[in-house]
Amino acid sequence: MKHLYDIFSRNVSKSLTRSYSTSFSLGIRCIDPKIRNHIYAIYGFVRLADEIVDSFHGFDKEGLLNKFKDETWAALDDKISLNPVLQSFQETVNLYQIDRALISQFLHSMEMDLKAMTYDESAYKEYIYGSAEVVGLMCLKVFVSGDEQAYHDLKPFAIKLGSAFQKVNFLRDFNSDSQVLGRTYFPNVHDGMLNHVSKVEVEKEISKEMDDALIGIQRLPKTSGLGVYLAYCYYYALLNKIKKSSVSHILKERIRVNNFEKSIIFFNSYIKYRFLRYI
């Protein structure tokens, strides 16, 4: 009857994803059902780790993260876990032979979040690689069904997309990151003070990375391309809202795309993606 536990574990990761991210959930729903649960498994894993360092205030975050790390490696080695999220994650990692170095780098970035700090250029790149780019690479392994040549060819584009998404998140969450969590990720921002010049500089970086990433999205298999493109369009819309917002606005509140705007974005994205496949 273990298959019932496997199904339950996959559903827990799916539920976790849908509870925390409506935008990613909509994108994942457009991925082929044969691989959809594996993307839920990856997202559920990274979401759980992220919650430890971002939300579990008043608890021993370092201790919880260390336990989570130990349970992760044990799940991967034993190919089973009593934690449903880790159970579905280990299933995906072992099936697609996802490089454990990617997982290790992700967990390292979560450790970096345990301390309030201002990042220099080196730490900034290190954090983005571990917190976002490696997640894109894990998903890419699933998207290409373990095809090493396809993975190698698309890897640079997955890295660009992960980096762009994370930088958009940094801008969107700048107020809570700097004022509540004590983190200032951008190396060109000093004393937690974002200004117009530094904001525009980051926005240009993101736009370039997203333009580069689009080339790779067009080359993804049909089983995953639409879902990734939907997420891409959502983040592009979020970036455009951030561009139109003043620094004072960003410092006061989190920029959001409302549900009506999301529905328009996803409808238009579907039409545009069908066109992209023929370019």
Amino acid 192: pLDDT: 59
Amino acid 279: pLDDT: 44
Amino acid 217: pLDDT: 94
Say yes or no to pLDDT of 266 above 80. Answer: yes
Say yes or no to pLDDT of 74 above 70. Answer: yes
Give residue 98's domain range.
2-276
Amino acid 131: pLDDT: 95
End-to-end Cα, the chain, rounded Å: 48
Say yes or no to pLDDT of 191 above 80. Answer: no
**Which residues are CB-contacts of 146 (< 8 A; sequence separation ≥ 6)?**
96, 97
> Could you give phi then psi for residue 224, rounded to 5 degrees?
-130, -15
Q: What would the two tokens of residue 47 be?
A: 């979401």
Structure-model confidence comparison of residues 243 and 276, the more confident one:
243
Say yes or no to pLDDT of 68 above 50. Answer: yes
Average pLDDT, the chain: 91
Percentage of residues in the chain with pLDDT exceeding 90?
72
Note the pLDDT tens digit of each residue in 196-239.
888 899 999 999 999 999 999 999 999 999 999 999 999 999 99
Q: Across-strand partners of 118?
A: 184
Over residues 165-192, the mean pLDDT reads 82
pLDDT bracket for residue 25 (50, 70, 90): confident
Count: domains in the chain:
1
Smallest Cα–Cα separation from 110: which of 69, 72, 140? 69
User: Cα(157)–Cα(215) distance, rounded to whole angstroms?
Assistant: 7
Amino acid 278: pLDDT: 47
Residue position matching structure tokens 């044990």: 74
Note the pLDDT tens digit of each residue in 236-260.
999 999 999 998 888 888 888 888 8
Amino acid 190: pLDDT: 61
Q: Residue 73 is part of a domain; what is its CATH number?
A: 1.10.600.10
Do the beta carbons of residue 92 and residue 81 sit within 8 Å? no
**Which residues are CB-contacts of 44 (< 8 A; sequence separation ≥ 6)?**
12, 13, 14, 16, 17, 85, 88, 89
Amino acid 75: pLDDT: 98
Say yes or no to pLDDT of 116 above 70. Answer: yes
Say yes or no to pLDDT of 162 above 50. Answer: yes
